Amino acid sequence: MTEWLHHLLILPILVPLAVAAALVPLNERERALKGSIGFVSTLVVFLIAMILMGLAAAGEDSLPGSGVYQLGNWPAPFGIVLVLDRLSALMLCLASGLALAAQVYSTARWHTAGHHFHSLIQLLLAGLNGAFLTGDLFNLFVFFEMMLAASYGLLLHGSGPLRVKAGLHYIAINLAASSLFLIGVSLIYGTTGTLNMADLATKLAALPPESRMLVETGAALLGIAFLVKAGMWPLGFWLPTAYAAATPPAAAVFAILTKVGIYVILRLHLLVFGAAAGASAGFGQSWLLAGGVATIAFGAIGVLASQAMGRLAGYSVLVSSGTLLAAIGLGHEEMLAGALFYLVSSTLTIAAFFLLIELVERGRDAAADVLAVTMEAYGDFDEGEEEEEVGVAIPRTMAVLGLCFSLCAVLLSGLPPLSGFVAKFALLKGLFEIPAADPARALTAADWTYVTLIILSGLAAMIAMNRIGIRTFWASIEGTIPRVVIIEITPVVILLAACLFLSFHPAPAMRYMQETVGDLLTPSLYSERVLSAPRAGDR
Amino acid sequence: MELILSAGIGALTASGVYLLLRPRTYQVIIGLSLLSYAVNLFIFGMGRLRVNAPPIVEPGGGGDLARYTDPLPQALVLTAIVIGFAMTALFLVVILASRGFTGTDHVDGREQRGD
């Protein structure tokens, strides 16, 4: 039984990878079949992720093989390991949940806009899951590249000059960032002789001063690669354009791509540069803080300046990244649980918003034109086929869309009573809470800047959403009422329902986040778990 | 040997970064390629430069590690080369698509004054 459970750990990578390969040779005309296979696969991954999260929540002892999966049965640090803990289980759930929503949404019309949509989603999911599970730096690079390669395809899905231009910039920037990633990884290997994150954490404290500088350089280069992904100012100018150009289901999944950068920074920062790191403890923290604060400010201004909803959503992604980066950079341990809660809530909200935008804008002529141009530019494989709309149109379309839109607005601006407010409240409560262990801690200027910016960014989101909402739902009657089918609105409703659930039952989620932070703040336990995991035969 | 290698990596990186910042898509892709060559050499260098030391254990050669060079960076380089090659190919396709859509090879899809 435990043997079988142990192999659950690698299934979130293997299942989507195998399904992606299997879907490629299937004829594009079999879209319904491809869609259902992809849906089943993502559903399986989602269920596995839920089981893994349940196991992780119950504690390390209940995890099969104490949560460490040794590939090829080589023990760490010699082999590559997959490590399951509460944080990675949480991210697995979030990633597969978003992929599920995007996939259901796409089956209404968007997966017809290009080839291999379902394969690309599966590959993206495999790369994401791998990046969340791996405990090895170079393996992280490989999964990262896999995820990026799939995301290039997804961004270009639907084609058209706008997407190709955005894709060109996106690919060029990510390729340059990947070079920095490789330089960073090899510098760390060259000085410490290990690529295993757990082993690196134990070796760092004992490093001689002359190689410490090189390791820190390597870590900084690595950090830049992830900060590009997370969209930190000034590395994130590409993000709003690329996300606004992507097709809605692709953009919804991209909401988690920035969080991969945040995830890796959170993990490596606390694991490698925790209190046990000697002279390197807290390395780069002030940069994260400054960058995060600048990102919130830039994102908030961008939100205010956006005329189109797609760009507004893109800048909201930046605000969310900045809030998280600055929360990590402030270094108050009490804030981290709130930060994780914010991560989940904001990712779900932004994904729902990206899906909603296209439905709302469909009524406008401009948006319909874009779609028409897309279809035309894409080519003729669709010729002769009626543009089929699967499913039944929903009644009272504008009322439903308006309700979803206002929920998104409340969530994005962090107004009570929804989870956006709960998350920001938890963040600020952690900031103002003076811990018993350190009664002398006073609030610094950085803390106050952070509080001000969080509140101002909420205000900016509220103003912008109000303006766009009034223009779309109240002012204009010249647009036709969009025809929205049930399977398009369902994923939006489910994502928003997840946020509502988090709003009204935050206690279990918050407890989970607090336990996660407890894990993250004791990196020695993580290292010991990885390095002393038994091999499969020895059990 | 170290001097030549580091000068080579430096020259490749410098030309790569310069080309990456140029406005033509062809220059960008050549810049990215040069950059990835520099990175590959750099990874290789991180295993330290050794002459006449194989990276694999020879049959009957015994387990004396001093006779061998570090095999791991070579494996990493191999992976990085494959991934870099695939990404360059993909980027090339996107460049061609962009050229087809806009009729220009400018990275912004339109000519600008002063270029």
- Option in B39, B72, B90 nearest A182 (CB): B39
Residue type, A49: A
CB–CB contact A186 B108 (8 Å): no
Chain centroid, CA A460 distance in Å: 23
| Residue to substitute from B26, B46, B69, B93, interface A, most A β-carbons within 10 A | B46
Chain A contacts of B95, Cβ < 8 Å? 168
CB–CB contact B98 A176 (8 Å): no
Chain A interface residues facing chain B, Cβ-Cβ under 8 Å?
138, 142, 145, 149, 152, 156, 159-161, 164-165, 167-169, 171-172, 175-176, 178-179, 182-183, 185-187, 189-190, 195, 377
Nearest CA in chain B to A174: B87
Chain A contacts of B80, Cβ < 8 Å? 182
CB–CB contact A171 B36 (8 Å): no
Which alpha helices (H) appear in A28-135, and where do they start and end? Answer: 31-57, 86-106, 117-133
Distance CA A295, CA A327 (A): 12
Contacts of A2 (CB under 8 A, 6+ apart): A64, A65
E strand or H helix that includes residue A390? none
Interface of B with A in 50-109 (CB under 8 A): 72-73, 76, 79-80, 83, 86-87, 90-91, 94-95, 97-98, 101-102, 107-109
Chain A: give the shortest CA distance to residue B98, in Å: 6
CB–CB contact A176 B35 (8 Å): yes
Chain B contacts of A183, Cβ < 8 Å? 39, 42-43
Chain B: give the shortest CA distance to residue A451, in Å: 38
pLDDT in tens, A293-325: 999 999 999 999 988 888 999 999 999 999 999
pLDDT in tens, B20-39: 999 899 999 999 999 999 99
CB–CB contact B87 A189 (8 Å): no
The residue with tokens 């000068």 is B7
CB–CB contact A179 B36 (8 Å): yes
Contacts of B22 (CB under 8 A, 6+ apart): B28, B31
CB–CB contact B46 A187 (8 Å): yes
Angle CA A189–A194–A199, to nearest 5: 140
- Flag whether pLDDT at B10 surpasses 90: yes
- Option in B36, B42, B98 nearest A186 (CB): B42
pLDDT of residue B108: 83
pLDDT of residue A283: 84
> From residue A207, how far is each of A112, A189, A267, A490 by CA, in Å?
55, 13, 21, 54
Q: Can you name the residues that pair with A136 across neighbouring β-strands?
A: A196
Chain B: give the shortest CA distance to residue A163, in Å: 9
Nearest CA in chain B to A185: B43
CB–CB contact B91 A171 (8 Å): yes
Enter the DSSP assignment of A480.
Answer: P
Instruction: Tell me the backbone φ, ψ of residue B11, rounded to 5 degrees.
Output: -65, -45
Chain B: give the shortest CA distance to residue A269, in Å: 23
Enter the DSSP assignment of B59.
Answer: T
Ranges of chain A whose pLDDT falls below 70: 1-2, 60-61, 64, 363-395, 476-480, 537-539
| CB–CB contacts below 8 A, A to B | 83
Chain A: give the shortest CA distance to residue B17, in Å: 9
- Option in A175, A182, A190 nearest B91 (CB): A175
Dihedral sign of CA atoms B90, B92, B97, B101 in order:
positive
Nearest CA in chain B to A186: B43
Distance CA A463, CA A455 (A): 13
> From residue B79, how far is each of A235, A260, B37 by CA, in Å?
27, 22, 13
Nearest CA in chain B to A138: B76
Nearest CA in chain A to B46: A190
Distance CA B92, CA B26 (A): 9
- Flag whether pLDDT at B6 surpasses 90: yes
Residue environment code for A201-222, b if the CB has 16+ CB neighbours within 10 A, otherwise e = bbbbeebeeeebeebbebbebb
Contacts of A241 (CB under 8 A, 6+ apart): A166, A169, A311, A314
- Option in A159, A168, A179 nearest B39 (CB): A179
Q: Which contacts qualify for A20-28: CB closer than 8 Å, 24 or more apart?
A: A20/A119, A20/A120, A20/A122, A20/A123, A20/A126, A21/A119, A23/A116, A23/A118, A23/A119, A23/A122, A24/A116, A24/A119, A28/A115, A28/A116, A28/A381
Nearest CA in chain B to A167: B94
Please compute Rg for chain B using Cα positions: 20
Distance CA A440, CA A165 (A): 53
- Option in A168, A189, A377 nearest B98 (CB): A168
CB–CB contact B47 A175 (8 Å): no
Which DSSP string corresponds to A148-205? HHHHHHHHHTT--HHHHHHHHHHHHHHHHHHHHHHHHHHHHHHHHS--BHHHHHHHHT
Chain A contacts of B28, Cβ < 8 Å? 172
CB–CB contact B94 A164 (8 Å): yes
CB–CB contact A145 B87 (8 Å): yes
Chain A: give the shortest CA distance to residue B11, in Å: 16
pLDDT of residue A21: 92
Chain B: give the shortest CA distance to residue A311, in Å: 18
Name the band, by pLDDT with cuts 50, 70 and 90, for residue B70.
confident
Nearest CA in chain A to B43: A186
